[in-house]
Structure 1
Amino acid sequence: MPILADFHMHTHHSGDSQAPMEDMVKRAIEKGLTQICFTEHQDLDYPELPGNPKDLFTLDTDPYRDEVLSMKEKYSGKIDIGFGVELGLQLEDTLRKNREYMSKYDFDFVIGSIHLLDREDFYYESVWEGRSISDMYRRCFESTLENITEFTDFDVLGHLDYITRYAPDKGASYRPEDYADIIDAILLKLIKDGKGLDVNSKVLFTNPEGNPNPHPYILKRFNELGGRIITFGSDAHFADQVACGFERTRQMALDAGFTEYYTFKGRKPSAHKL
C-alpha cells in the first residue's frame, strides 16, 4: 500500500516558509493523499540573529488554526486535514513556556524536535567552527535525551539525527553505529513513553540517494527494541515537496520490519497497513 498521509508540513505560518496553505492542500490531493497534517514551527526562545526578524519561529497560532479549519471545511470529502505543531524542544525556561503553550490548544498531532544545540542553531556554519563533527553529533543526541526526559507532551520525535544535514561534510562521515549507546537510550525512552518517530523524507527531494532522518539503521533499531509508532512526513516547505520520497521511506520502513504506520487525530494514533 502506498503512504497516503503526510504528517509533517509547513506553510506561510512558519518562519521559514512562504507557501500558501491551499497550495499545499491541492498538491496533496493531486498526489493521491487522503490525510495531511500541518505542523507549523513553534520554536520559543529561538536566538535572535542578524538579518532575521524578531521571533522568527514564534507561531501566531490562532490565525493558523483558523485557516486550517477553513481548509478542512472547504476540502471536506476530498482530504482529511489535521491541526498540528512542530514544537522546538529546549530546557530551562523554554520548558515552562512549552508546557504553558501546550495547555492552550487542542492539537491533532505534536512533533517534538531539536533544532538548536545549547541555544545555537547548527544550521549556521559558524556554530561548527572549532568543534569536531563527532562531538557535535554526540552532544546533540545527549541534548535530545535530556529534552525528551524532561518534556513528554509530544507524539513523535521529529527527524532524529537532523543535525547531520548541516555538518560541514553534509553527513558524509556519519555512522549512527558510532553513537549506538545514546541512540538506543533515546529510542528506549520513546518506547517507554509510548512515543513514535517522524520518518522525515525532506532530504530526498534534492538528493534521492541520500538518507532520510532518521537513518535506516536507527529506524531498524527502533523496531528491534519494540518501537511501533512511525509517521511519515515530507517536512515540505513548499508544494512541490509534499510527499516527496515516500516510496523510498516506505520501503525503508518495511526493510526495518515495520508493517504499519500511524496517523493522529485528537492526539490519538490510528494504524494503517504499509
Structure 2
Amino acid sequence: MYIDSHVHTSFSGDSDTPPEKQIEQAISLGMPVLYITDHQDFDCPPGVPEFTFETEPYFRKLRELKEQFRDRIELRIGVELGLQTNIPTDLTAYASGHPFDFIIGSTHVCCGMDPYYPEFYENRPEEEAYRSYFEYELENIKAYDCFDVAGHLDYVVRYGPNKNTFYSYEKYKELFDEILKTLIAKGKGIECNTAGFKAGLNHPHPTEEILKRYRELGGEILTLGSDAHQTVHLAYHFSAIGDLLKSCGFRYYTVFKDRKPEFLPL
C-alpha cells in the first residue's frame, strides 16, 4: 500500500473525521506510514468557512496518537498551508516556527474568492477563470519557499462549470511550464492528488499530461495524496496510481520526514 501524504481530519474546517479514524483506516489498508495534513488557510475572504486550527493543540493531539499507534503505523505530522500573497500573516515564519514533517503549499483562494464557489466563475468565460487561477498559482509559487510540494496544481478544474470537458495542458502550456520550471528550480515537488477521480474527472490533479511534462523537465519530487476528508476516501484510487505514474515516466514517489525527501519505488 502506497503512503498517503494528503489527509484531513476534524482539525480541518471541512472535515468531521477524527484523526483516530483516519489512522485506523490506514492500518486496516496496510499502510506503513500516514500523514495528517490539515488545512491552515490564514486570512480567507469573508463568507468562506474557517480553515485554520490552533497549532499547539494540533501537535499535542497528533503526538499523543503517534505514540498510541507507534507499534502499528508511523504517523507523520504535516499541514496543507494555503498560499496567498498580500496577506498580513507571515507564512514563512509560521512554517519555520513549527516542526512539521511535511508542508503542502496549495492555492485555495484567488482574486479574493475560493474557486469552490460558483461566484468565482460568474460573468466571465470559464477559460478566463481558469487562467486567472493558474496565474495566481504561479505568483504564489514564485513568492514562497515555505512548502515542500505544490498541492493539486489544477484544483480549479474540479469545480468549474464544465470541469475538465474543455480543459487541457496545451491550452495553458506557457503557464504550466513556468510553474513547473519554477518549482524544479526551487527544489520543490508536486503531488499526484487522486481526488480528481473522486470528483468524476477521470484524472488526478494535475492531469497525466502535466505529470509527464514535469518529469520531462527534470522534476523528481512527487508525493501521493488522496485529499481524503472521510475514511472511505483514504488512499482513493491508489490501486491504479502506480501504473499511471510509470506511464508518465516516474519510477519513484516521495515521502518527507523532518521536511527532507525520501524516494520509494513505485
Shorter-chain TM-score bucket reads over 0.9
- What do residues 55-75 of structure 1 show as CA deviations (whole Å, max 9, x unaligned)? x01221111111110111011
**Residue 212 (structure 1) shift:** 0.9
- Work out the CA distance in 2 between the residues paired with 1:155 and 1:172: 30
Match of 2:261 among 241, 255, 269: 269
Deviation at 1:121, TM superposition (A): 0.8
Instruction: Name the amino acid aligned to 2:256.
Output: F
Deviations 1:1-41 (A, max 9, x none): x52x0000000000000001100000001111111111110
Match for residue 48 of structure 1 among 46, 49, 52: 46
Contact 2:158 2:199 in 1 (8 A): no
Question: What is residue 15 of structure 2 aligned with on the other side?
Answer: 17
- Structure 1 residue 213, shift from structure 2 partner: 0.2
Preserved contact between residue 205 and residue 244 of structure 1 (Cα < 8 Å): yes
Matches within 5 A, 1:164-183: 164-183=157-176
Residue identity opposite 1:255 in structure 2: S
Residue 198 of structure 2 corresponds to 205
Amino acid at match of 1:22: E
Query: What secondary structure, in the 3-state scheme, does the structure 1 residue paired with 2:36 have?
Result: strand
Say which is worse superposed, 260-269 or 85-94, in terms of deviation: 85-94
Contact 1:212-1:249 at 8 Å conserved across structures: no
Aligned to 1:132: 125
CA contact (8 A) 2:78 2:102 kept: yes
TM-score normalised by structure 1 residue count: 0.94
Of residues 241, 245, 255, the one that matches 1:249 is 241
**How far is the alpha carbon of 1:206 from its aligned partner?**
5.2
* Segment of structure 1 superposing worse, 8-17 or 136-145: 136-145
Match of 1:57 in 2: 51
SS state at 1:105 partner: coil
Contact 2:126 2:160 in 1 (8 A): yes
SS, match of residue 93 in structure 1: coil
Instruction: Give the Cα–Cα distance (whole angstroms) in 2 for the partners of residues 103 and 79 of structure 1.
Output: 26
Measured after TM superposition, the shift of residue 97 of structure 1 is 2.3
| TM-score of the two chains, using structure 2 as the length reference | 0.97
**% of aligned pairs identical?**
41
User: Counterpart of 2:25?
Assistant: 27
Q: How many residues align?
A: 266
The 8 Å contact of residues 263 and 271 in structure 1, kept in 2 or not, is answered as: yes
After superposition, the C-alpha distances for 1:80-103 in whole angstroms (9 at most, x for unaligned) are 111100000000124x52123223
- Rounded Cα–Cα distance in structure 1 between residues aligned with 2:209 and 2:60: 40
Q: State the one-letter code of the partner of 1:273.
A: P
Gaps of 5+ in 2: none
SS of the aligned residue for 2:152 comes to coil
Aligned-pair RMSD on alpha carbons?
1.3
| Distance in structure 2 (CA, Å) of the matches to 1:224 and 1:98 | 31
Q: Aligned to 2:72, what secondary structure does the other structure show?
A: coil
Instruction: Write the letter of the residue equivalent to 2:64.
Output: S
Unaligned runs of 5+ in 1: none
State the secondary structure of the residue aligned to 1:6: coil
Q: Distance in 1 between matches of 2:129 and 2:104?
A: 23
Instruction: Please say if 1:92 is aligned against 2:90.
Output: no
SS in 1 for 2:90: helix
CA contact (8 A) 2:96 2:146 kept: no
2:64 to 40, 53, 70: 70
1:98-126: CA deviation from partner (whole Å, max 9, x where unpaired): 12322321100000000111121111112
Give the one of 6, 9, 28 matched to 1:8. Answer: 6
Alignment correspondent of 1:221: 213
Q: d(CA) in 2 for partners of 1:236 and 1:227?
A: 25
Q: Secondary structure at the match of 1:159?
A: coil
Q: CA deviation at 1:171?
A: 2.0
Q: What is the alpha-carbon distance in structure 2 between the residues aligned to residue 258 and residue 39 of structure 1?
A: 24
Amino acid at match of 2:70: S
SS in 2 for 1:8: coil
Shift of 1:172: 1.4
